[in-house]
Structure formats: structure tokens, C-alpha cells
Structure 1
Amino acid sequence: MEEVVYEFWSLVLTVDEDEVYWRQKKGDEELEWSHSSTHVISQLTQCFTNAMTGPRSWLGGLFNRMGNRRNEKYLDYTMSPIQEQRLQKLQERLQTPFDETRPDHQEALRALWHIAFPDVALKGLISEQWKDMGWQGPNPSTDFRGCGFISLENLLFFGRTYPASFRRLLFKQGGTRATWEYPFAVAGINVSFMLIQMLDLFSEKPKNLPGYNFLKLLGEDEQAFDVLYCIAFEMMDAQWLAMHASYMEFNVLLSPSLTSTDSFSHF
């Protein structure tokens, strides 16, 4: 547990480093978006300790202390206009598949490479180089089939907003690492998928407590899902270290059972 807490505070310090980076890069006047995101991070980190109590709770604990302490599995509530608008916009993103023939999707993929390896020229959108980032093969588009374009957007947001943290996870810096580590890009897609499922985001409105609590954050910050993604990815990495896991445990850590909402209803 002490190791996990250490990893968490490393996350907090890394976020601080990224905040300094952006202040130097853009200036305070362009950081209005970050203030609400910081508030979202603050709310999420209040329940960090419970999120890391075992190998099957790293993601569910994000929400097990948030919101009203009610015990209904399905909640009868009315979304605010801003929540409804932002949820609809988010759901439109969820329904966008990755299309390797679209120029904007191609550019997004190239942008991700440049963030990860700014000093290495990419030979092509289909290249063995992609395996260095943790894709399963030379064509990343095949890995997006399970989650769509939003998973690429999530990775881009992570790399652009928290570059120090992004690179630390990509290059497996910090902590006692296994000889065979988890594949970064594939893990990122899985984190996107699990969050979507856990928050019930394909429903007209979420019908479970994690989704209900997420809507509160979404009402405060339109980028709440992207910020949550970054935190969840960090927490997955921290749990990986806490488990002293190796590649053979990768599927266990990311199995669907880890996102079961049954344990999230006990407030």
C-alpha cells in the first residue's frame, strides 16, 4: 500500500510539472480550461486510496466515494441542460470510428507519433515503428476497431496536456519495472473502452452510480472524460507496479471484471 501511495503522489507531482510546462508554453491567460480540470482532478483524487486496495478495484474506486450516498442501482434523475448537451457531444465522439482513409484521422495519428517520438521521423502510417509505441502490429488502425477514434483522441489529449506523465508511462520510467512491460498504446485503448463501459456512456443517460457521478464532473468541465482518462491510465500503471505485474498479467489487469459496477453501488 505504501508503494501505491508513493506512486499516487508521483502522479500529483507529475501533473504539477505539466502545469508548469503549460504556463511556460502558453501563458496564464490561456489556461482557463485547466482550472476546472484541476477541480475535477481534486474531486477524483479524494477517493484514490479506496481505488487502489486490490488488483480488482483500481478503476472502480475512482467513484466509490463520490456523490450522494445512495444505494439504488438505477437512478431516477434529470440532467441539467449543460450536462445533456455535453453528454450528447461526448456520445457523438464515441460513435466515430477510426477511418484510416480520412486525412484528419491520419494527421491525428502522425501527431501522436510526433508527441511520442519528436526526434524520430515516421516512415509511414503502416510501419514496424509503431510497435515501439505499443501497438500490436505495423498498422495501428487495426487496434482502434474496438473503441474508435476517441481512443486516439484520448491518447493525444494525454500527450498534449500532461506530456511529462505521458512520456513517463510510455517509456516506463519510475518504479520497479518488469522485463516484459505492458504495451502502452494498447493499454491506452483498453482504458478508454473500460471507462466508456463503466460509465454507461452509450445509454441515453447513464443508469449507474459511476455514470451519475461522472455527469456531475461533465457539468463542470467539458473535458472531464479526457481528464479522467489520464488519471485512470496513471492509476492503471500504479496498480501494475503495485502488483509487480509482468506482461502475462496484462489481460488480468484489464479484464472486464475490473469494471464491474456492482461494487460501486455501496455508498
Structure 2
Amino acid sequence: MKMDVSRDDGGSFVAVRRNSQHLDRTNTCHTDEVVAGSTAWLGRSLSCVCVQRKEGESRPSFDLTPAQEDCLQRLQNRLDIAYDGSVPEHQEALRVLWKAAFPEEELRDLISEQWKEMGWQGKDPSTDFRGGGFISLENLLYFARNFPKSFQDLLRKQEGDRAMWEYPFAVAGVNVTFMLIQMLDLEAVKPRTFVGATFLKFLSENESAFDLLYCITFKLMDHRWLAMHASYMDFNAVMKSTRRQLERELLQDDVTRLEDLPSFSLLTRST
């Protein structure tokens, strides 16, 4: 696989250069070229996603029921778990992710050049989990298990008129996790936005609400990517657009569960 390193405004980034529409897993000469840099790409891509408050504007505060407090605490406990490559459970989760992504190709080692085919920045995916923690790996696994068709479509870039330089699937997935944590203000003791309070209502009714919202968001991001005819330099703009649309959908009066979100219809379960 040919490796090229490119830079934007003095920093490193990662992008996937696509020379054909589909991945050919049976050919040893793969159709993707991965441009690898530091994890700074992940951080910068999210630097402008946060909503800014006007000067003097205070955030609303929402009281929680005991049940909601318990649900939020359990989710926050998940957020606190960093990926640790020495933990057997984490190692196994990584192997399961590879098997879900490329069932026809055996993973040679947990540290391998093969990981670049999934859109990790280097041969050790653990270095990319620092932005999202172990939950970002759990999110990817939930996506692969519950919506395998959409997962594969995004991984292999099988839908739409793709750009020459595409976003890297796996690192983008970590970005989605981090963006949702920001958007929902999940590290706060209790919600401080209407969006956060609305999500907590869904979480109290469905323990997997965060994982499900992740799947919706990832698919929506790709949908916005195609609609905006984006390339890797547009990733931050696509993420901001995705967040705005997601916030609007979450606050619609007729949305009483995550499956009611208009963007949920973008997901496909069957392969």
C-alpha cells in the first residue's frame, strides 16, 4: 500500500484517497490509500462544533428523577473508561470489530498495518481511542452488530458520488462519539440544554440510547457529506451541519423515541 503524508495549515491530518467505488477484499492490491498523520486531526475536526452562548446568557438547568440520575451515571461510567490495550476485554473487542468489518480477512495481529484499511491512522488503533475512550469502540461494535448493512456501506464507501479524498471511517467514528458527548453535555452532573434533557428522557427508556444515537449520527454525517459534496478539508463543516440537523430533529414535538427521528430512516439493518 502506498503511503503519502500531506498537511493542511501546518498540522497533520488523515484522509482516505479512493481510486475506485468499492473495496476489493480479494485482491492484495487494495484500492485505498491512507494518508496518516497525528491524532491532531481528530481534535481539530471538532474544535468548532461546540455551540457558543451569547454573553450574559445562562444555561437552563433540569432536575432529574432518581431513575434518570441512575441512567446518566451508568452512561458517565462508560465515558470514564479509557481504552487500555493491556486489558483482555478491550483486546477482544478490537478483534471482534475487525471480524465484523472484514469477516473474510484474518487479522494477523492487534498491531498491524491492516488496521489502516479500516481508517485508523496507524497500525495501532489504540492510539486513536484517546479522543473517545473505550465507549467509541463499543459504539462501532454496536453499529456493526445492529445495522450491518449501513456499517458496511460507510466502511466501504458504497453509496453516493464519493470524493477523491474521503474521511477515514474508523477515526471519523471516534469523532462522532466525541461530538455526541459534547452536544449532549454528558459530563455535566445534570443536563444544561434542552437537547441534553431530551436525550436523557430517551436514555431512561432505552439503556442503549447513546449507542443507537451514535448509529443515527454516523449515518447522518455520511448523508450530509454526500449532500455537501465534501472532501477531507470539509470534515469540520460536515460535522457542524450534522450536529445542527440532529439537534433540530431531537427537539421536534412528534419525536417521542429515537426511532422517530427522521434520520433514523437512513439506517439499514439487513445485509
**What is the aligned partner in structure 2 of residue 47 from structure 1?**
none
Residues 74 and 209, structure 1, Cα contact 8 Å, conserved in 2? no
Q: CA deviation at 1:205?
A: 0.8
Q: Residues 73, 173 of structure 1: CA spacing in aligned structure 2 closer, same or farther, 3 A cutoff?
A: farther
* Equivalent residues in 2 for 1:1-267, closer than 5 Å: 74-254=59-239
- Bigger relative contact order, structure 1 or 2, given CA contacts below 8 A and separation 6+? 1
**What is the aligned partner in structure 2 of residue 18 from structure 1?**
none
How many pairs does the alignment contain? 196
**Identity percentage of aligned residues:** 59
Q: CA deviation at 1:78?
A: 2.1
Q: Which amino acid aligns with 1:188?
A: G
**Hey, what's the Cα distance between the residues in 2 that align with 1:168 and 1:73?**
42
Q: Deviations over 1:154-193 (max 9, x none)?
A: 0000001111110011111111111221100000000000
Q: CA deviation at 1:250?
A: 2.3
Q: CA deviation at 1:97?
A: 0.2
Structure 1 unaligned spans of 5+: 1-58, 61-71
Residues 151 and 192, structure 1, Cα contact 8 Å, conserved in 2? yes
Q: Deviations over 1:134-156 (max 9, x none)?
A: 00111100000111000000000
RMSD: 2.5
Residues 61 and 191, structure 2, Cα contact 8 Å, conserved in 1? no
Residues 218 and 224, structure 1, Cα contact 8 Å, conserved in 2? yes
Residues 143 and 151, structure 2, Cα contact 8 Å, conserved in 1? yes
Q: CA deviation at 1:74?
A: 2.8
Q: Residues 161, 73 of structure 1: CA spacing in aligned structure 2 closer, same or farther, 3 A cutoff?
A: farther
Residues 120 and 171, structure 2, Cα contact 8 Å, conserved in 1? yes
**Hey, what's the Cα distance between the residues in 1 that align with 2:70 and 2:94?**
28
**Hey, what's the Cα distance between the residues in 1 that align with 2:218 and 2:228?**
15
**Hey, what's the Cα distance between the residues in 2 that align with 1:144 and 1:239?**
24
**What is the aligned partner in structure 1 of residue 46 from structure 2?**
none
Q: Secondary structure at the match of 1:254?
A: helix
**Hey, what's the Cα distance between the residues in 1 that align with 2:197 and 2:207?**
15
Q: Which amino acid aligns with 1:212?
A: A
Q: Which amino acid aligns with 2:114?
A: Q
Q: Whose helix proportion is higher, 1 or 2?
A: 1
- Return the TM-score normalized by structure 1: 0.68
Residues 98 and 107, structure 2, Cα contact 8 Å, conserved in 1? yes
- Return the TM-score normalized by structure 2: 0.67
Q: Residues 132, 208 of structure 1: CA spacing in aligned structure 2 closer, same or farther, 3 A cutoff?
A: same
